[in-house]
Amino acid sequence: MTTPRIDYRGLFAVTPSPYLVLDPDLVVVDVNRAYLRITGRTREEMIGRHLFEVHPDNPADPDADGVRNLNASLQRVLRTKEPDTMAVQKYDVPVSGHPGVFQEKWWSPVNTPLLGPDGQVEWLLHRVEDMTEFILTRPLRSAPEDPESEHRALESELYIRAQELQRLNEELRNAHARERHIALTLQEAMLHSPDLAAHREIAVRYLPAARSLNVCGDWYDVVDLSEDTYTVAVGDVVGHGLEAAAVMGMLRSALSAAVRAIHAPGAAMDVLSRYAGTFESALATTAVKAVIDTRRQHITYTSAGHPPPVLSRTDGTVVLLDRATEPPLGVPVGRHPRAQATVPYTPGDTLVLYTDGLTERRGEDIDTGLQRLTDVLVRHAGLSPDRLADVLLTRLGVADGRDDDVALIVIRL
C-alpha cells in the first residue's frame, strides 16, 4: 500500500484550533488561519516579529500579566523540553488598524516543544482556545431569578481557583529553583577537588538520587601527596538531601586534611573514624581510600565498611580490593590503626572506586551487583576513563537516576 503524500502545511493552515509556531527566540515563524481570525491580525503583521512585539501587554491595564505568564511558560518548555498547559489567561490583544486600542481577551493556552534531530528544541507550538465569550457571559455572583445562576457561579469559581492555583504553582517553581540553586552551589563547593584537574587519566561522576535536590551524602576526592603519589577516595553518608550533604562535607574535608598529614591510608581513615564518632549523624558512614604510587606501581588501600574497589587488569582479569575492610566510620577497631593492604598494578590497568548506589539493588544479593560491575569492566576495559564511566552508569542502569546516590571514580593507571 502506497502512503499518500500529505500537504502538512495545508493541513496546518486549515486546522480549526488556533496555532502559532515560534522559534527558540520567540519569533513568529508561522500562524494558521484560525489564529489570525480570532486575533484579527494578518500574516504580514506577525511573521518574522517577536511574539511580545505582536502581543504586548495592554498599557491601560495596570494588572496585565499576560506577557509575564506566557513568557514563563515558554521558557519552561525551552528548559524542560516538556509541554506546558496554562490556566485561563486574561491577555488583551491590540485591535488591528487602531494604535493603542486593545480588545479584552481570555485564552486557554498550551505550549509544546518540537525537538530537532539533536534533541534540542527547534520550534515551539503555541495553541490557544478563545475563552472570552465563556468568561464574559459567566457572572461572578449568582442571580436568584436565573435558574442556571448556581451552575454559572460554580464555573466562575472554578476559573478563579484555577488562576489561584497557577499563581501558587509559579511561586512553588520559583522557590524550588532558588533552593536548587543554593543546593547545587553548596554541593559544588563541597566536592571541589583542585588536584583533579591535573589528572587526565581520572574520570569522576556524581549522580544524586532521583527526585532529590541534586545534593547527596556521597562524595569523591583526589589529592596529590607527592610527585609520585596521589590518593583517591569515595564515601557514603547515610541519607539524602541537605543534611546528608552537610555531614558529607565535614567528613570529606577531614579525610582530605588527614591524608595530607598521614599518607598511610589506614592511619588516615582511623583519624576520620574517631572524628566521625563525635557526632551521631556521621555514624554508619562508609568510605574507601587508595594511595597510588606511580613510581613503585602499587596501590595501598583501606575500606571502612565500603564496597570493594575493583582493579581491572590489561590481561582481562579482575581483582576485588577486599583484603583491608574494617567496620564503618565511628566504630572502634581497637588500639591499632585500621588495616591497609597493598596490591601491584601494571600501567594500563584500570581502578574503579564507587558507592553502593552503582551496584546494589533492593531485594538482590550484593554479589550480583558486583558481578554486573566486573562483567562490564572486562567487556569495556579498553575504553577511555571518561567513556568507561559513562558506560558503567548506563549498563548498570543508573544513568537516569535511581533511589540511591552514586559517586564514581575511574582511574587509568
Predicted pLDDT of residue 230: 95
Contact call for residues 301 and 309 (beta carbons, < 8 A): yes
Predicted pLDDT of residue 390: 93
Predicted pLDDT of residue 212: 54
Contact call for residues 74 and 26 (beta carbons, < 8 A): yes
Name the percent of the chain lying above pLDDT 90.
Answer: 41
- Of 5-19, 239-253, 299-313, the range with the lowest mean pLDDT is 239-253
Contact call for residues 350 and 318 (beta carbons, < 8 A): no
Predicted pLDDT of residue 164: 61
Predicted pLDDT of residue 345: 96
Predicted pLDDT of residue 142: 47
For 262-283, what is each residue's pLDDT tens digit? 889 999 999 888 888 888 777 8
Q: Parallel, antiparallel, or unpaired: how do β-strands 298-304 and 89-90 relate?
A: unpaired
The mean predicted confidence, pLDDT, of the chain is 84
For 96-154, what is each residue's pLDDT tens digit? 878 888 988 888 888 999 998 888 899 999 998 888 887 777 654 545 555 555 555 55
141: helix, coil or strand? Answer: coil
Helix crossing, 149-190 with 241-261: angle to 10°?
A: 0
For residues 357-374, average pLDDT: 87
Give 234-249 as a DSSP string: EEEEEEEHHHHHHHHH
Predicted pLDDT of residue 237: 86
Contact call for residues 260 and 254 (beta carbons, < 8 A): no
Predicted pLDDT of residue 2: 64
The CA distance from 180 to 170, in Å, is 15
User: Side-chain half-sphere of 72: how many Cα atoms within 13 Å?
Assistant: 16
For residues 330-334, average pLDDT: 80
- Listed in sequence order, the residues at least 6 apart from 404 whose beta carbon sits closer than 8 Å to its beta carbon are 209, 355, 356, 357, 360
Chain mean position to CA 191: 17
- Of 50-54, 128-132, 286-290, the range with the lowest mean pLDDT is 128-132
**Statement: residue 248 has pLDDT above 60:** yes
Predicted pLDDT of residue 366: 85
The CA distance from 247 to 106, in Å, is 51
Please state the φ and ψ torsions of residue 116, each to the nearest 5 degrees.
-85, 180
How many angstroms separate the first and last alpha carbons of the chain?
59
**Statement: residue 161 has pLDDT above 80:** no
Three cell numbers at 412? Answer: 587509568
Three cell numbers at 177? Answer: 529553583
For 184-218, what is each residue's pLDDT tens digit? 676 667 677 888 889 999 999 988 765 555 566 78
Task: Count CB-CB contacts under 10 A for residue 280.
Answer: 10
Contact call for residues 378 and 343 (beta carbons, < 8 A): no
201: helix, coil or strand? Answer: coil
Predicted pLDDT of residue 399: 76
Three cell numbers at 131? Answer: 475563552
The DSSP code for 305 is: S
Predicted pLDDT of residue 132: 83
CA distances from 108 to 36, 130, 212 (A): 16, 7, 32
Predicted pLDDT of residue 163: 60
57-60, long-range: CB within 8 Å, 24+ apart, which pairs? 57/92, 58/92, 58/102, 59/100, 60/102
- Of 2-16, 29-43, 140-154, the range with the lowest mean pLDDT is 140-154
User: Side-chain half-sphere of 74: how many Cα atoms within 13 Å?
Assistant: 23
For 61-99, what is each residue's pLDDT tens digit? 888 888 998 999 999 999 988 888 887 888 888 888 788
- Of 210-219, 342-351, 378-387, the range with the lowest mean pLDDT is 210-219
5: helix, coil or strand? Answer: coil
Three cell numbers at 366? Answer: 550484593
The CA distance from 201 to 173, in Å, is 40
